[in-house]
């Protein structure tokens, strides 16, 4: 449950970043949600494969899955941060950078 609250705030952050880049925020929020869920499932699967599945280590497996899900958010944020800014796009091919 707490991971959904975290995801809400992270999606809001991604939306603001997308707006600053001149991109559609809803699209990037959906990409973030899908990346979060995919990495969480993959993290849970790897956690079960590495540590095994038992009642004793369920909390650790869930923490591992949420940590992997946060990695999915970081991947989307990295991709979005490397997109060019709108003012950078306007300067492509111009001689404004020459001395």
Q: Which domain holds residue 6?
A: 2-82
**Domain assignment of residue 87, yes or no:** no
Under a CB-based contact definition with an 8 Å cutoff, are residues 24 and 18 in contact? Answer: yes
Torsion angle, alpha carbons of 33, 1, 13, 34, to 10: -10
Nearest residue to 15 (alpha-carbon basis) of 33, 29, 1 = 29
**Domain assignment of residue 91, yes or no:** no
**Domain assignment of residue 93, yes or no:** no
Distance from C-alpha of 40 to C-alpha of 89, rounded to nearest angstrom = 35
Count structural domains, the chain: 1
Q: Report the predicted TM-score, pTM, of the whole model to 2 decimal places.
A: 0.81
Q: What is the pLDDT of residues 7-58, one digit of tens each?
A: 999 999 999 999 998 899 999 999 999 999 999 999 999 999 988 888 888 8
Query: What is the torsional sign of CA 26, 5, 13, 31?
Result: negative
Q: Give the pLDDT confidence score for residue 65 in this predicted structure.
A: 92
Q: Give the pLDDT confidence score for residue 94 in this predicted structure.
A: 62
Other residues' Cβ atoms within 10 Å of the Cβ of residue 70 = 18
């Amino acid at each position: 449950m707490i991971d959904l609250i975290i995801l809400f705030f992270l999606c809001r952050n991604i939306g603001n970043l997308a707006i600053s880049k001149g991109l559609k925020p809803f699209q990037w929020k959906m990409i973030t949600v899908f990346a979060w869920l995919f990495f969480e499932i993959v993290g849970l699967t790897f956690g079960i494969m590495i540590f095994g599945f038992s009642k004793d280590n369920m909390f650790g497996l869930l923490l591992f899955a949420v940590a992997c899900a946060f990695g999915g958010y970081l991947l989307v944020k990295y991709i979005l941060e490397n997109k060019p800014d709108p003012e950078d796009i306007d300067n492509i091919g111009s001689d404004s950078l020459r001395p």
